[in-house]
Amino acid sequence: MKYIDEFQNPDLARRLLDTIHATVTRPWALMEVCGGQTHSIIRHGIDQLLPEEIELIHGPGCPVCVTPLEMIDKALEVASRPGVIFCSFGDMLRVPGTDRDLFQVRAAGGDVRVVYSPLDALRIAQENPEAQVVFFGIGFETTAPPNAMAVYQARRLGVRNFSLLVSHVRVPPAIEALMTSPQCRVDAFLAAGHVCSVMGTQEYPDLAATHRVPIVVTGFEPLDILEGVRRAVTQLERGEHTVDNAYPRAVRAEGNPAARDMLADVFEVTDRAWRGIGVIPDSGWRLSGRYREFDAEHRFQVGAITTTEPAACRSGEVLQGLLKPHECEAFGTTCTPRTPLGATMVSSEGACAAYYLYRRLGGTPTPTTAEATHVG
Amino acid sequence: MCLAVPGKVLEIEERDGTRMASVDFGGVVKEVCLEYLPDLRIGEYAIVHVGFALQRLDEESARRTLDLFENLGLLEEEFGDPWEQAARTDTPTPEAGR
Ligand code: SF4
């Protein structure tokens, strides 16, 4: 337990760990759904503090990582067009498309801009009426409501030169797909706290009951994660499988009703491809009929672009918890954050990058600098 | 962008028919949309993601999280210059660390 002193409250951390150690009697595999949790787990060496019976599997919850190559290529194509101002979150700049990334499109003269909020992109559209302003709408249920608001406002204010390239994904269908896969090894899920801040917990009881799998809503800080693990393991040892909220300071059962209403208005559920995994039924959102005119895929006629992913990259197996990043042959050799073969190496929330940054030295978390986190 | 950061509401104003606030994240002040938490008041804390307040947070947990993020360099990552950060991935990784 040598890293425990770095925790904000080492006493509490130790108590949680002691309880977990005392509770566990046999092997369990827990999947943390969210990339933010993966980052926190690897950075703080939490997996190494847990009893060896507990394996943490790093799930597909990094939106940057699961955005399909095809969608990246569409973004690159749109961003290269004259007269387009392409707006994106900073995390997407280095995500490799088939032959380049957004950073390079900008270097070649494309007008690519990074925004903090989707409303910044809308303002750019208002200020540049002669240009077509496109916003790259990626993310899970947490990011979808902000992006939905930008489209809603564009329609309300009559900003016709604004559009959204939509690649939104939903967590529950991904959990369903993982649980129905014959290779599934997951005994319990740590569900993503901020997704539930928006959506609440109502989507999960059916999943927990059908697949007899505990689902514990968990936060992102080291203590949150230990508490999530403690509750999941307690359920597993007792043979229970319910939805439990271990992150009540940010998650209410009903979520955020205003945000959910907006989602229901602006988006509709659709099948969506996840990078490295493939199409998962009902796992995404697209613009609903009332907002279809704001769909960039349609406006720029890039719907037909299709791409195949590089065979060397095994991020699909990593995202499903079938392979640990360092078990991939390319890891740290041909694939590094500087020369990523797959998106799980690009984003600091991706499992491959997290291992690369914090696990270079044979299983010891490398001391971190602020700089070392700037990969995403 | 995946981060959701707690912030404190400093000011609230209506713009273009939209409820907006200035929110303080441990010293960095940003424009934040309050449409999803319309009854948030000045002085209160909320979890903010990509410029939107998504859920109320009590002051103590907000401060604790902000301290942690600050120590981990996550605030700089969230609010720093993204072009600089992206450019850095094209030069030898600052492996040195400590
Ligand atoms: S190490 Fe690189 S090539 Fe291997 S799975 Fe991860 S991203 Fe793909």
Give the CATH number of the domain where residue A29 resides: 3.40.50.11750
Which range is most confident: A95-99, A240-244, A320-324?
A240-244
- Summarize the confidence of residues B24-42 as an average pLDDT: 94
Query: Does pLDDT of A65 surpass 60?
Result: yes
Q: What is the DSSP letter of B12?
A: E
Task: Specify the pLDDT at position A345.
Answer: 87
A295 and A206 within one domain: no
- B27 interfacial to chain A (CB closer than 8 Å): no
User: In which element (H, E) is residue A260 found?
Assistant: helix A257-266
Whether A148 is covered by a domain: the verdict is: yes
Give the CATH number of the domain where residue A81 resides: 3.40.50.11740
- Summarize the confidence of residues B31-38 as an average pLDDT: 96
Asked if B33 and B68 count as a contact pair (C-beta separation under 8 A), the reply is no
Q: Which domains, and CATH codes, for chain B?
A: 5-91 (2.30.30.140)
Dihedral over Cα of A207, A213, A214, A218: its sign: negative
A359 lines ligand 1 (CB under 6 A): no
Task: Specify the pLDDT at position B95.
Answer: 37
For residue A354, give the nearest of A314, A318, A312, A320 by alpha carbon: A318
| A323 CA closest ligand 1 atom index | 5
A262 and A197 within one domain: no
Query: Does pLDDT of A361 surpass 80?
Result: no
A123 and A94 within one domain: yes
Question: What are the pLDDT digits (tens) for A138-197?
Answer: 999 999 999 999 999 999 999 999 999 999 999 999 999 999 988 888 999 999 999 999
A268 and A150 within one domain: yes
B31, B54, B98: residue with CB nearest A142: B54
State which of A219, A245, A271 marks the end of a domain: A245
Question: What are the pLDDT digits (tens) for A3-62?
Answer: 666 677 788 889 999 999 999 999 999 999 888 899 889 888 999 999 999 999 988 888
A71 and A140 within one domain: yes
Neighbours of A55 (CB within 10 A): 17
Task: Specify the pLDDT at position B1.
Answer: 60
A177 and A81 within one domain: no
Share of chain A above pLDDT 70, in %: 94
Go through chain B and tell me how many residues it has: 98
Q: How far apart are CA A272 and CA A279, in angstroms?
A: 5
Which range is most confident: A264-273, A299-308, A321-330, B76-85?
A264-273
The protein residue with its alpha carbon nearest to ligand 1, atom 8, reads A313
A280 CB contacts (<8 Å, ≥6 apart)?
A173, A174, A177, A271, A272, A273, A274
Question: What are the pLDDT digits (tens) for A362-376?
Answer: 444 444 333 333 222
More confident residue, B54 or A347: B54
**Residue A312 pLDDT class (50, 70, 90 cuts):** confident
More confident residue, A197 or B2: A197
A145 and A80 within one domain: yes
- Summarize the confidence of residues A205-219 as an average pLDDT: 96
Task: Specify the pLDDT at position A3.
Answer: 61
- Residue A71 φ then ψ, to 5°: -70, -35
DSSP B17-51: TEEEEEEEETTEEEEEE-TTSTT--TT-EEEEETT
| A317 CA closest ligand 1 atom index | 5
- B28 interfacial to chain A (CB closer than 8 Å): no
The number of folded domains in chain A is 3
A95 lines ligand 1 (CB under 6 A): no
Question: What are the pLDDT digits (tens) for A111-148?
Answer: 999 999 999 999 999 999 999 999 999 999 999 999 99
Task: Specify the pLDDT at position A373.
Answer: 31
Whether A309 is covered by a domain: the verdict is: no
Whether A200 is covered by a domain: the verdict is: yes
Task: Specify the pLDDT at position A365.
Answer: 42
For residue A70, give the nearest of A313, A312, A307, A311 by alpha carbon: A307
**Domain assignment of residue A88, given as a range:** 64-169+256-299
A159 and A110 within one domain: yes
